[in-house]
A and B are shown apart, each in its own frame.
Chain A
Amino acid sequence: MAQQPAEAPLQTTPLHAAHIALGARMVPFAGYDMPVQYTEGVLKEHLWTREHAGIFDVSHMGQARLRGVNPLAAFEEVVPGDFINLKPGRQKYSVLLNRTGGIIDDLMAARPVTPEGTGDDGLFVVVNGACKENDFKVIAAELAGQVQIERLETRALIALQGPEAAAVFQHYAPQAAAMAFMDVRLMTAFGVDLIVSRSGYTGEDGYEISVPGAAADRVWNVLLSDPRVKPIGLGARDSLRLEAGLPLYGHDLDETTSPVEGDLAFAINKNRREQRDFPGAARIVKELAEGPPRVRVALKVLEGAPAREGAEIADASGKVIGVVTSGGFSPVLKCGIAIGFVAGVSPAVGDPLKVIVRGKPQAAEVVKAPFVPHRYVRKLA
């Protein structure tokens, strides 16, 4: 999508110097110079996040406020979710759709409020870094005259994820203890204003914390000073989200993929299905009723090498029926796992399939995503 040309100078996040100081291996990602791993490496970082808490710099992602007379209603013109009924203090996953129902990007959109319920100010959206320029251009064009977009380009975004993430964060931000999964709050902690959601991209409990750029380094270092927290690079971020069965835009989803094909029908709310008033509604409603021509599946690779993006998927008879769109090694399951698309009838859990790795067919099995159970805190104790 809006991938920057290779020759463009890389941008840096407010945490760039912190990554270098930690000995990170830096790589170009979404136009930014980003840490792919720190000194311990992807495998240990991955397992640390599953057992303790990992801190991630995701400041390359696009943050913005959409304001207007009725920004929630306006936003529904570009996404299939029910945003008119989004409650203050809640966040929702959605997809930005093109006119043919293809996914321009996937995103989170929220109504952050203070613990007292004040400060409700339009829609706070977070989109993928590689797509952000195009996303905001599309939203500006489609919703011209209805919403104003304030890009929050000076803010950093830090994710704290893992079973110990909540205890670590709540030590500095006790207000966050009252938040459940997908709650979002405005709060003051570390002496600065934060926009905090209880969500993430690892399948673990945790928070995503929008911080003023100038304070990012301090917040990062304070959280990192807790012995339960280690820095985690983009390499483990990818293997964690894969185990959690979460699609990655640009790999598992693109402008040709509908949310039905992408196994994201949960993001098309009932009232919107009935109203058929979102981009590509004709295609999407038809796919909901009759089944899509291809569908996203989760595969466990039962033998041999991990199947990676581009590996063909074949049925038991050897006929090629699809392709892996992201795949790798699961540090928790200690085997290959993959997300892919197969054409025709949606395969059932347990169906034996093949993945073709370097010309060799290897046994694989359709499984129910996630590969590793989510541990979101949906209800507070």
Chain B
Amino acid sequence: MELQPAYGKAPLMRFTKDHEWVEVDENGIATVGVTAYAAEQLGDVVFVETPDVGKTVKAGDGFAVVESVKAASDVYAPISGEVVEANAALGDAPETVNAAPEAAGWFAKVKLANPAEVDALMDRPAYEAYLQTL
């Protein structure tokens, strides 16, 4: 079976300069999380405050809060839309953000309001090139 990217070119995962990732499915639902680089920088995650389901977010708004032993860090919405699901598993296992940041450690799913916002984000090679500049 051939994978058909919903937006733009493969790979499906897109990235922001703030180290969030977005993966869009065929129904226009974007899964949002933080990248492996962000998870490494944050250190051991001990608490995640995910957004409430039903909340409408705008790209750049505060979206979630990730807490390590030392500090709380804001995560910004990389895209706009309505939150349709939050990752309840992070309540009992916030360390999943460190163990699998770009998979099981996702934060929330958002029904995209403006799919073009996704195309404006970096693909993986561009994100990895960006990491080299930091």
The reply to whether B69 and A239 form a contact with Cβ atoms under 8 Å apart is yes
Q: Which one of A37, A235, A306 contacts B46 once the chains associate, using CB atoms below 8 Å?
A: A306
CB of A43 closer than 8 Å to a CB of B:
yes
A41 partner residues in chain B, CB cutoff 8 A: 43-44
A305 with B72, Cβ < 8 A, contacts A329-B67, A358-B65 known: yes
A238 with B70, Cβ < 8 A, contacts A43-B44, A329-B46, A329-B47 known: yes
Which A335-381 residues sit within 8 Å CB-CB of chain B? 336, 358
Interface residues on B, range: 10 to 19
Give the CA-CA distance A37 to B44 in the complex, in Å.
12
The reply to whether B44 and A305 form a contact with Cβ atoms under 8 Å apart is no
CB of B68 closer than 8 Å to a CB of A:
yes
A358 partner residues in chain B, CB cutoff 8 A: 49, 65
Residue of B nearest to A234 (CB): B70
Q: Which one of A42, A304, A305 contacts B69 once the chains associate, using CB atoms below 8 Å?
A: A42
Interface residues on A, range: 20 to 34
Residue of B nearest to A242 (CB): B69
Which B73-107 residues sit within 8 Å CB-CB of chain A? none
CB of A328 closer than 8 Å to a CB of B:
yes
B69 partner residues in chain A, CB cutoff 8 A: 42-43, 46, 235-236, 239, 328-329, 331
Give the CA-CA distance A306 to B47 in the complex, in Å.
8
The reply to whether A235 and B70 form a contact with Cβ atoms under 8 Å apart is yes
CB of A44 closer than 8 Å to a CB of B:
yes
Which A137-196 residues sit within 8 Å CB-CB of chain B? none
Interface class of chain A by DSSP: mixed
The reply to whether A308 and B68 form a contact with Cβ atoms under 8 Å apart is no
Measured CB to CB, the closest approach of chain A to B39, in angstroms, equals 11
A304 partner residues in chain B, CB cutoff 8 A: 47, 49
A36 partner residues in chain B, CB cutoff 8 A: 70
A305 partner residues in chain B, CB cutoff 8 A: 47, 49, 65, 67, 72
Give the CA-CA distance A46 to B44 in the complex, in Å.
11
The reply to whether A328 and B49 form a contact with Cβ atoms under 8 Å apart is no
A37 with B67, Cβ < 8 A, contacts A305-B72, A308-B72, A358-B49 known: no
The reply to whether B67 and A42 form a contact with Cβ atoms under 8 Å apart is no
Q: Hey, what's the 0/1 contact readout for A224-257 against B, CB within 8 Å counting as 1?
A: 0000000000011011000000000000000000
Q: Hey, what's the 0/1 contact readout for B53-74 against A, CB within 8 Å counting as 1?
A: 0000000000001011111100
B67 partner residues in chain A, CB cutoff 8 A: 305-306, 329
Residue of B nearest to A42 (CB): B69
B72 partner residues in chain A, CB cutoff 8 A: 305-306, 308
Q: Which one of A43, A306, A308, A328 contacts B43 once the chains associate, using CB atoms below 8 Å?
A: A43
Measured CB to CB, the closest approach of chain B to A235, in angstroms, equals 5
A43 with B46, Cβ < 8 A, contacts A239-B70, A305-B67, A328-B70 known: yes
Give the CA-CA distance A97 to B72 in the complex, in Å.
33
B47 partner residues in chain A, CB cutoff 8 A: 304-306, 329, 336
Give the CA-CA distance A308 to B67 in the complex, in Å.
10
Residue of A nearest to B62 (CB): A358
Measured CB to CB, the closest approach of chain B to A39, in angstroms, equals 11
Which B13-60 residues sit within 8 Å CB-CB of chain A? 43-44, 46-47, 49
Q: Which one of B44, B49, B65, B68 contacts A44 once the chains associate, using CB atoms below 8 Å?
A: B44
Measured CB to CB, the closest approach of chain B to A65, in angstroms, equals 35
A239 partner residues in chain B, CB cutoff 8 A: 69-70
Measured CB to CB, the closest approach of chain A to B52, in angstroms, equals 11
A336 partner residues in chain B, CB cutoff 8 A: 47
Give the CA-CA distance A304 to B43 in the complex, in Å.
19
15 residue pairs from A and B, CB less than 8 Å apart: A41-B44, A42-B70, A43-B43, A43-B44, A238-B70, A304-B47, A304-B49, A305-B67, A306-B67, A306-B72, A308-B71, A328-B69, A329-B46, A329-B68, A358-B49
A-B pairs with the 10 shortest C-beta distances? A43-B44, A329-B46, A42-B69, A41-B43, A235-B70, A329-B69, A305-B47, A239-B69, A41-B44, A43-B69
Given contacts A235-B70, A305-B65, A305-B72, 4 further A-B contacts (CB under 8 A): A37-B43, A238-B70, A304-B47, A328-B70
